Amino acid sequence: MFAKLTPARSVLAAVGLALATLFSALAPAPASAAIPYLQLNASEPKYAAIVIDANSGEVLYDKRADSPRYPASVTKVMTLYLTFEALGEGRLKLTDRVVMSPRAAAQAPTKIGLRPGDSMSVDEAIKAMTVKSANDVAVAMAERLAGSESRFAALMTLRGQELGMRNSRFVNASGLPDSRQISTARDLAILSRAIMRDFPQYYSYFSVRGFTFRGNYIKGHNRLLDSMDGFDGLKTGYTNASGFNLAGSAVRDGRRLIGVVLGGPSTAWRDNNMEDLLLTGFDVMKRRSKGERTTIAANIYEDDPSGPIQRPSIEQGDGDQAGLKIVLTENPHNPGPMKVSPTLRAAQAKPAKKPQGEWSVQVGAFKSKSLANEQLKLVRGRFAKVVADAEAAVEGAGGTFRAQFQGLTADAARNACSALKAKRVPCMVLSPR
């Protein structure tokens, strides 16, 4: 699927490690650690995004794609790139052991929680990074490959530059907060494409939804693996400074897209935005293959988030939002009771918002109910605010299935249809019968 591109290997592993040692020796002293590598504009929205065609590298959508941002745990994609590189070159085996040093064990959550001196296999370590986003394991792997995290981080920056990540600098392997650790949506898309292209034999690690470690089942943070058809990776991330980040990829009809969303105000908003961008991207590519000239920007409802992070996560580097976490107490292959937070239980107990009127907006008529439901899902994803108060329904009549958003007031229905038509989505307003 990918174009045959030979990754730059101008620096051999030994030479790269020597340069990394030199770079780390010249790194800023701790007193200057608060000085950012690139100055972030505090008044600029945190949100940035990009969508690219994984095969050609063509940019299908970008918004502030070159503005500096904190990558948070999406950083671990580069840590995993160098891990996969070591595996491919025979410097590392999946059965090798990764020992937890005192420094690695002392990292902030999210973490796997091994004690100093304890160890895990490389295979387990990779899953701990892709599924759990374990900061302690990322540091332990960095030390295993380069002797120290600072040397490894310098090597991460060098490899990133070789791959074309022109606006990125790494100072740690985990993505934990550091004002010097900077990347962009475009650079992270370049990295995501590179890891698929260069190490396809290991890409499936990003699709792992959970794994069992020492008798405990560990479930991942990437909810789109369960909720979006064709979505198969890559990595979530979160810090207070970055907001909720996600680098993701999906395949439909033989096409693969890569998306990066940075600075989301919540996990739900981030995930919905990623799904929206990718679904619209697939639709645009399909229409372009038939000769239509269109873009993602022309077909998506752009809801640029602003304001503070909603319910900040208690975990840095990655993690779900406090108060909305569901934890399985048993292996999912042997289901047991679930622990649900009081906040979520209260939210579930609230009555659903009732429709406010008797008007409807019809967004298409189809030959099957499944196609009508797919259209409703697509429109709901693109225009979440416009149809937020409506109830999605499929009305069948005479062998035709009509996709409708019902329960709107007259003004709300007219406004919704106007917004849809402005983005070239056909619709019609239906008055009460």
Instruction: Tell me the pLDDT tens digit for each residue of 359-414.
Output: 889 988 877 787 788 888 888 888 888 888 889 999 886 667 888 999 988 888 88
| pLDDT score recorded for residue 28 | 42
- Taking only Cα atoms into account, the Rg of the chain, rounded to an integer number of angstroms, comes to 23
What pTM was computed for the model? 0.70
pLDDT in tens, 142-194: 999 999 999 999 999 999 999 999 999 999 999 999 999 999 999 999 999 99
Sheet order of strands, 243-252 included? 59-63, 48-53, 255-264, 243-252, 231-239
Q: Average pLDDT for residues 19-34, to the nearest whole number?
A: 44
CA distance 199 to 84: 7
Q: What is the pLDDT of residues 55-84, one digit of tens each?
A: 999 999 999 999 999 999 999 999 999 999
Contact 182, 170 (CB under 8 A): no
Q: Return the H-helix or E-strand segment holding 65.
A: none
Amino acid identity, residue 265?
P
pLDDT of res. 313: 61
For the cut 80, the answer to whether the pLDDT of residue 115 exceeds it is: yes
- The CA distance from 381 to 306, in Å, is 19
Which domains can be identified in the chain, with CATH numbers?
13-289 (3.40.710.10), 359-430 (3.30.70.1070)
Residue 349 in this model has a pLDDT that exceeds 80: no
Name the strand (E) or helix (H) holding 48.
strand 48-53
The stretch 25-51 carries a mean pLDDT of 60
Q: Kindly indicate the confidence band of residue 301, based on its pLDDT and cuts at 50, 70 and 90.
A: confident
Question: For residue 174, what are the contacts with CB-CB under 8 A and spacing of at least 6?
Answer: 73, 75, 76, 79, 107, 135, 138, 139, 317
Span 249-260, pLDDT tens digits:
999 999 999 999
Beta strands in 108-242 (DSSP E): 119-121, 210-213, 216-219, 231-239
End-to-end CA distance of the chain: 51
Quickly state the pLDDT bin for 339 (edges 50, 70, 90): very low
User: How many Cα atoms are found within 13 Å in the side-chain-facing hemisphere of 87?
Assistant: 22
Among candidates 59, 66, 63, which has minimal Cα distance to 285? Answer: 59
323: left (phi over 0), alpha (psi -120 to 50) or beta: left
* Burial zone of 167 (CB within 10 Å; 0-12 exposed, 13-18 middle, 19+ buried): middle
Task: Please give the positions annotated as active site.
Answer: 73, 76, 133
Of 204, 82, 203, whose CA–CA distance to 144 is shortest? 82
- Segment 136-150, tens digit of pLDDT: 999 999 999 999 999
